[in-house]
Structure 1
Amino acid sequence: MWRQPKTVWSVAFACVISFMGIGLVDPILKPIADELGAGPSQVSLLFTSYMAVMGIAMLGTGWVSSRVGAKRALMIGLVLIIAGSAFAGMQDTVGGIVAFRALWGLGNALFIATALSTIVSAASGSVGQAIVLYEAALGVGIAAGPLLGGWLGGMSWRAPFFGVAVLMLLALAATAVTLPPTPRAERPSSLLAPLRALGHRGLLTVGITALLYNFGFFTLLAFTPFPLDMGAQAIGFIFFGWGLLLAITSVFVAPWLQRRIGTLPGLVGALVGFAAVLAVMGFGAHTKPVLVVGVVLAGAFLGINNTLVTETVMKVSPVERPVASAAYSFVRFGGGAVAPWLAGTLGERSIQLPFWVGAGAVLLGVAVLLTAAPIIRRIDQQPGHGAEAVNSEIEAEALTVGDA
């Protein structure tokens, strides 16, 4: 898995930097609220605008990349992220930050969708191994983001935004130098392709499951810093532990579980475990040690879920992988955009309520997932859990022409 072409490593590095942006904002949510006189529901809009725009923009990522080529699509996404993060750090109002977080989300949509399909298609080995590599980049980025955000946030709440801009400049340079030029597709993708792909029951079911799971995920990410009520560096260290455990389980535990018990039991177990952690955090919301342990422990279940659900999306339907990724992400991020705002709004009434609502939503996601159990079980009936061998050159060329 670790013997990969230069193209894969350059995109993976850019992914690490991109995913750092998710957790990097976490330690500074409370400082932003305190300095700008905003409540949890207002500050949570930093996540909502980011997720809403990213989800809707996912519908157009295939349309753009098939017309300009994968390399140009990645670079356009990186430029938008740089602009969004830099200008967000210059704002003096929550509304201004929210607006430029939306621009950041637009860039992230174009980058993430193209990056995942590029890694899967260009990697040597199996689809499953390529996805583990992608999730490893995600885990490292998510783990490092809060740590860097806490360190920079100790200086100023603006510093993490500028830090992202500088790091993404490095990622842009690496992508420009190491990624070979990719031509436009002979058959450009349609804007409606992701919506048509959602007609496949398995893909739609996994997308709705992820949407519901996002209610729990963003309760943890966007609301927990408020009841913790600690400094930026302390929050950064706590979420670093969360991200580190997420990275470990996504790379090592998830593939092992899939081999031992299968994809569906692994997903159900991870989601139920995460729901249980959220419920306990709800009961102990007034006790900081309970919240700290809950945040870190949740990382273990989220890492397993992320790897298994990403692999499921890539294999559960017969549509092209870039289209499947865009369709899934549209449902997951677009529909889940309300989750951060809802957690903040509920938290202004009771700090226990967001955790219980998040746990209930995750359990509802399990029920939805089980309705497509026969479809998901077919993945495990294929050799190597559907992790068919990938011919890197053929798959990469196929991705380029939009016919993976």
Structure 2
Amino acid sequence: MFELLKEQPADKILMLMQAFREDPREQKIDLGVGVYKDAEGRTPIMRAIKTAEKQLWETETTKSYTGLAGDVGFADAMFGLLMGDAVPRNCVAAAATPGGTGAVRQGFDMIRMADREARVFVSDPSWPNHITMLKHLEMHMQPYRYFDSETRAVDFAGMMEDLADARVGDVVLLHGCCHNPTGANLNLSQWQEVIDLLVKNGVTPMIDIAYQGFGDGLDEDAAGLRMVVSQMPEVLVAASCSKNFGVYRERTGLLMAVAQDPVRQKANQGMLNHLNRQNFSFPPDHGARLVTMVLDDPALRADWEEEVREIREGVLGLREQLAAELQRLTGSDRFGFIAQHRGMFSRLGATPEQVEAMRQSHGVYMVGDSRINVAGLNAKTVPVLAEAMVAAGV
């Protein structure tokens, strides 16, 4: 039967990683892979996580299963981090998942079980896994305009025009902060306009939040999400701990189903438990337990928040340096958007041909749509990227 299977297209980012590894040049720069890197090019274990891991090693007495939804303490801790006091805890069902990707997949499954005809509106562009998962599940997908390739800002008028077509039974997928791949975010007044439209048309939002703390601050980056959950009758939230806790390989995520009617919470929790059971039974616990320990311990949390601040300010500094260097080289402020974007990513607006030219001439590797991981830069490589962009005519 295996001969009936069709060969799947190779993952573009994995292909880019392979090409980078095979490039013999010492001065090459990897801006494709979406992981945080420090100035030495490492993806370090965060201080608080390392301390919590040592404590856990000394005190953990069992590796037995947790519940189908994972440890309740993890859900409680993440609820506080993400939602604050925007909605009562008893209105929120939650289940741990294998990473934020697992949370998104479980969210899509929940939508499909509720209504197989539901359309999921996805920003254009969006994280590629959003699209591939929806296609794999054979769900109805509808793109909506999001990024203006000329201004490199949110095309809000186009976005609102497209979202006006969403109706009862449809879902709109939104990025909570630090939009991947563009780095262009909604402001709070725009969030409110989106909420008003979704309430008017009876549309359900699903929010994917993977970079809380990497944009403007932990509370600032959750502000849009909190506005949504406080005003909408129901919301799905897929959260990842990979970036802001640095637990990439521990696969630590959470799916939350918010319903303003607490009576729905029990049924929603039962559905999340069921989905976990059908896909992987019990979710991984190690990363979730470390995150819980950090969030629940005042000293560990303070150290973690400080390190998140250091990371955020470091990335913002690189953005400002790159924008300034490009202004110096070109005499133009057309690259000011780089300093205005937030999070790890920005889309430069280069053509695939210009991207290839930068790779060949300067050893600068980025995804073909010109998305760069700003955290892949350091103070010494920023001028190299700037020179490559100017030479390629970006």
* TM-score class, shorter: under 0.3
Report the TM-score, using the length of structure 1 for normalisation.
0.25
Relative to total residues, which structure has the larger strand share, 1 or 2? 2
Report the TM-score, using the length of structure 2 for normalisation.
0.25
Using CA pairs below 8 Å that are at least 6 residues apart, which structure has the higher relative contact order?
A: 1
Larger radius of gyration: 2
